[in-house]
Amino acid sequence: MRIALALDEHLTRTLLDDLPLAGAEVIASLTPDTLAGAEQDLPDADALIVPADPVLLRPALLAACDRAGLRILLLGDGDAAERLARRHGLHPALSAESSAWQILEALQSERRSTPVAPQEGRLLAVWGPHGAPGRTSLAIELSAALAAREGRVALIDADTYAPAIALLLGLTDDAPGIAAACRRAELGSLDAPELSRLAVPLAANAGTVEVLAGLNRPTRWPELSAERLRATLLACRSWAAHTVIDVAPPLDADEELLSDLQVPRRNAATRTVLEEADQVFAVTSADPLGIARFVRAHAEVRAHIGSTPMTVLVNRVRTGPLGIDARGQIRRALDRFSGITDVQFLPDDPRALDAALLHSRPVADVVPRAPFASAVRRLANGVAAPSTADAVPLRRERRRSSRRLLALPR
């Protein structure tokens, strides 16, 4: 194991002598002061040992270690060191008097440990066509409603075109988020504790939503490759009972026909999430243009997800754009052009949504009795509880379909 040290002179001198005897390789030795300005030039190591100092563990250092795939181990005594490790989702702090053998054992046990949940968490994808039908608002509200039932759920922004969850919830856009999780997944070091460290907890009224923010610049979309995102979603199953994922509208794969080269695809994130999801919430706006766009895209989505359950939601239902009997007109149009007979409606509730936007909170936290919040709570009550038995066959069927598609000549 390759280790970098950023300790005081006494501890550094002791560990420099003992770590090689324990079977580790010390490739760099920094002082805490030197490490403070070295975020952009971290050593190429497996682990970084630092003192349990809250001033040293800045967001810039944590984000840089995430990008470099560098695990952090704290040395410190007392409750303050334990609280610091828990706050950042790190391995429990070791005593400053720990031997090199104890440090190496802690690092190796952390690498071996992979928490296994008693149940397999469910992945819930929220998709909708172009035109802002309310995908992100629904994803936020659905995760908050599920948190009231489960206690804790996860919310991921996997939109590679216009990520907005962090902005709507007032979260900082420089948090590691989904991009850092994908990098750790590629290195094989992503597990439930690591996801908790990368996420930003949103304390809703009745539970906690762990938010993995999206890309702070859409031009970074190559970081969300299909392989990385698939590994991240797999880790999410042992992290939360339900993981709600907001995705971008485009699903077309025409770009893949242009070349046989294995280059990143911008729509790969949406396609991967829909392939792995246990349930898809397809949302459209209740106006002629929104319904037309949904009908055109629905067939492709249904062909892509196979037998995965899809819940069709019509958002912002009002009489203005469609006249009298708006719901009846929508039902008849979806039945006639897409064969959709099971439709659920979400009311047009601009005041409650504006209040939620003003406070950067879910609607249920700001206006608990709002019609929109009540409708989403009823929707969440119909979401099945996590179960390994009913999720695995669907994913296996989709993977077989994916292999058949990949086998077609290009």
What are the tokens at 345? 């409606």
Same domain, 241 and 312: yes
pLDDT at 367: 95
pLDDT at 292: 96
Same domain, 321 and 239: yes
Examine the fold and report which residue of 70, 86, 112 is the final residue of a domain before the chain moves on.
Answer: 112
Same domain, 138 and 98: no
pLDDT at 30: 83
In a domain, 151, yes or no: yes
CATH code assigned at 360: 3.40.50.300
Examine the fold and report which residue of 112, 130, 146 is the final residue of a domain before the chain moves on.
Answer: 112
pLDDT at 396: 38
Same domain, 222 and 369: yes
In a domain, 48, yes or no: yes
Contact between 397 and 306 under an 8 Å Cβ cutoff? The reply is yes
Number of domains in the chain: 2
User: What are the beta bridge partners of residue 30?
Assistant: 6
Same domain, 297 and 386: yes
Same domain, 316 and 177: yes
User: What are the beta bridge partners of residue 312?
Assistant: 282, 343
In a domain, 163, yes or no: yes
Contact between 132 and 286 under an 8 Å Cβ cutoff? The reply is no
Same domain, 15 and 147: no
Mean pLDDT by 10 residues, the chain (410 residues): 86 87 86 71 84 79 77 87 77 87 81 45 96 96 92 92 94 83 86 90 85 90 92 93 96 58 78 96 96 95 93 94 91 95 95 95 95 96 68 40 36
In a domain, 117, yes or no: no
Same domain, 107 and 16: yes
pLDDT at 399: 41
Same domain, 300 and 184: yes
Closest CA to 296 of 130, 136, 185, 158: 130
pLDDT at 285: 96
pLDDT at 254: 52
Phi, psi (degrees; rounded to nearest 5) at 198: -80, -25
Closest CA to 98 of 7, 4, 32: 7
Rounded Cα gap, residues 79 and 77, in angstroms: 7
Contact between 209 and 202 under an 8 Å Cβ cutoff? The reply is yes
Q: Which domain, by its residues, includes 344?
A: 122-406
pLDDT at 352: 96
pLDDT at 316: 95
CATH code assigned at 88: 3.40.50.2300
Same domain, 132 and 66: no
Same domain, 263 and 400: yes
Same domain, 74 and 153: no
pTM above 0.75, yes or no: no
Rounded Cα gap, residues 139 and 244, in angstroms: 6
Examine the fold and report which residue of 61, 78, 112 is the final residue of a domain before the chain moves on.
Answer: 112
